[in-house]
Amino acid sequence: MLVQEGFWLFKADPEDRGIEEKWYAGPLESAETVAVGAAFNEQLPHHLNHLGSVWYQQQFFVPEDWAGRRAVARFGCANWNAEAWLNGQALGGHSGGYIAFELEAGGCLHPGGTNTLTVRVDMKLSRETVLQDGRSVGHWWGYGDKYPPCSGDYFPWGGLQRPVILYSTGADYIADISVTTGISGSTGLVDYRVEVAGSGEVEVHIGKAEAAGAAGQLEVVDALLWSPEEPNRYRLEVALLRDGRPVDRYDLMIGIRTVEVEGHRVLVNGKPYHFQGLGRHEDFHVVGSGVSLPLLVRDFSLLKWLGVNSIRAGHYPPSDELLEAADRLGMFIFDEVPANAFYHGRVKEGESPADLVPPAFKENHKQAVHEMVARDKNHPSVVAWSVANEPNSTLALCADYLKEIYDFTKRLDSRPVIFTSCGGLDDKAQGFFDIVCLNIYYFVDRAGGDWNAVRAMVSTLCDRMYELHRKPILATEFGADALVGEHSLPPVLLTEEFQRDHVMSYLDVLESKEFICGTMVWCFADFRVPQHFGRQIYNRKGLFTRDRQPKMLAHLLRERWARPVRERSAWTDPGSSRVYIKRSEEDWQ
């Protein structure tokens, strides 16, 4: 396996001339250098806001003994459309960001010689990309006016942000493995299915337990179960044999655990589970949304320090490396596709709301779900599939659309399927999903300065949603911006005291309700967003700054989360402030 991280040639193509001028046919002229495995935007500051095409090129030696073998180029991701050429010959391409894809490369390879891989990444968003371009849908609350424009509240990072590898197999190889696990008494049940390309006999082992055939079950006696608290794993060894000789082998680290929704609870390994979590973006200085293993180590140690057991990978599938860290160190992941805030746009003259989501968007959305499940299905840490963030689920049209995506996802895998709603009581789609997921942003400024009124609003929303759906409720987002070092008594927006009181007030309400199966504060750390009058360079809702130092709230949450959920004392001094205007409950509807 050849890892193609490191320095690559890089060339921005703002006028999109590269294809016509055949930049793939030879060395990239007048190129710059970037590190692959990280977004280019902060590496090369003059390209920070570039949202067009970019080209990458790398040369590498391939050993002689790869001759006649199958070779595959695997890209950790390329936002949003990629095309690749090897030694000047087209390998094909892929559409869709934040997910891995593979291109067959064997036919164009020069074994025993130098090879040149050229990749064009087109970052342009549109109405049809799963993350829509804010301009083409005319987003609500000024999102269309952001720069660079995109419909998400996160920076539209670009390029080859995750590792690129080239690997080879023989003609007969293990193409895919699917594992699901169950528990019977103290025995772990591991159902496996192996897809073989070519031919051969499959043998699988976990320690001394063994099975043969492309599908079957292994029993692990006295199994040590997987959970965020005790992330026990087993090595599933899969071998492909021909005439008794091994021709391929893949080892998969698995965790034995179950996740079920029952009544108003989510059960993990048969017991009610409380998700104590945060939303997290892939974002850090210089690497942007790229992969930094030391950063992952630090982030997981901070998450453990806080007492967090779950993260919502908002708003796209995280890197393979993050999932590996979560499996190994113990953390539940709510895995999410980048479908964000659709059906909210302003309808232009001659258009209907249906035009905001063209058929190609739906196809891309399903493809994104399919690829996420295919890539991540075997991770014990992945606890649920989130198919959208804040679509306009108050529209019947959107609810029908989401139902279709729910059914599509359910056919792929048995995990709970969710979407996160900002529709409040007007939401029309949560009833179709397995867990009711609410993003809640009631602020004290809307409540006339009355923190208790904010608590009442949060409480009413949750109670009514529960009466309506009788399903567990997960508060998938709530939080407030805080500029580190800004203090005020009484608390005012953007201060550390405000963030503290806001989040603690929400937790007081949420944690008092039996049917709340978890709370996910937005968010782990401050992250870069496009320029917008409502933001101060970063989204500042982090419990940590972008360079991973704690704000005041992080210390309080650490203390709070160290106690069992039903034994937490209320935050008694919200706002340290007086009530200026009293409002009735109807005002919030």
- Please give the residue ranges that form the binding site for ligand BDP (CB under 6 A): 153, 315, 389-390, 422, 439, 477, 522, 539, 541
Nearer to ligand BDP, 152 or 575 (CB): 152
CB 518 within 8 A of CB 274: yes
Cα 98–99–101 angle (5° rounding)? 140
Residue nearest to ligand BDP (CB): 153
Longest dimension (CA), the chain: 82
From 42, 83, 336, 390, the catalytic residue: 390
Nearer to ligand BDP, 174 or 422 (CB): 422
260 among known catalytic residues: no
- The distance of closest approach from Cβ of residue 311 to ligand BDP in the complex, given in angstroms and rounded to an integer, is 14
- The distance of closest approach from Cβ of residue 422 to ligand BDP in the complex, given in angstroms and rounded to an integer, is 5
The dihedral formed by the CA atoms of 237, 240, 246 and 250, expressed in degrees to the nearest 10: -40
Residues 6+ apart with CB under 8 A from 245: none
- The distance of closest approach from Cβ of residue 386 to ligand BDP in the complex, given in angstroms and rounded to an integer, is 11
- The distance of closest approach from Cβ of residue 51 to ligand BDP in the complex, given in angstroms and rounded to an integer, is 19
- What sign results for the dihedral spanned by CA atoms 188, 273, 316, 435? positive
- The distance of closest approach from Cβ of residue 141 to ligand BDP in the complex, given in angstroms and rounded to an integer, is 9
From 128, 477, 497, 511, the catalytic residue: 477
477 among known catalytic residues: yes
> CA-to-CA distance for 8 and 408, rounded, in angstroms?
39
- The distance of closest approach from Cβ of residue 206 to ligand BDP in the complex, given in angstroms and rounded to an integer, is 40
The helix-helix angle for 496-510 and 552-561 (nearest 10°) equals 20
Residues 6+ apart with CB under 8 A from 271: none
- The distance of closest approach from Cβ of residue 540 to ligand BDP in the complex, given in angstroms and rounded to an integer, is 9
- What sign results for the dihedral spanned by CA atoms 521, 527, 530, 533? positive
- The distance of closest approach from Cβ of residue 47 to ligand BDP in the complex, given in angstroms and rounded to an integer, is 24
> Which of 315, 304, 268 is closest to 518 using CA atoms?
268
> CA-to-CA distance for 344 and 339, rounded, in angstroms?
12
Q: Which residue has the tokens 């939401």?
A: 427
Q: How far is CA 438 from the centre of its chain?
A: 17
Could you tell me the two tokens for 195?
A: 């897809």
> CA-to-CA distance for 480 and 540, rounded, in angstroms?
8
Nearer to ligand BDP, 78 or 422 (CB): 422
Cα 82–84–85 angle (5° rounding)? 165
CB 520 within 8 A of CB 530: no
The dihedral formed by the CA atoms of 220, 222, 223 and 228, expressed in degrees to the nearest 10: 180
Nearer to ligand BDP, 240 or 553 (CB): 553
3-state class of 559 per DSSP? helix
Nearer to ligand BDP, 156 or 163 (CB): 156
Nearer to ligand BDP, 354 or 425 (CB): 425
Could you tell me the two tokens for 467?
A: 């009466």
Cα 461–465–470 angle (5° rounding)? 150
Catalytic residue numbers read 390, 477
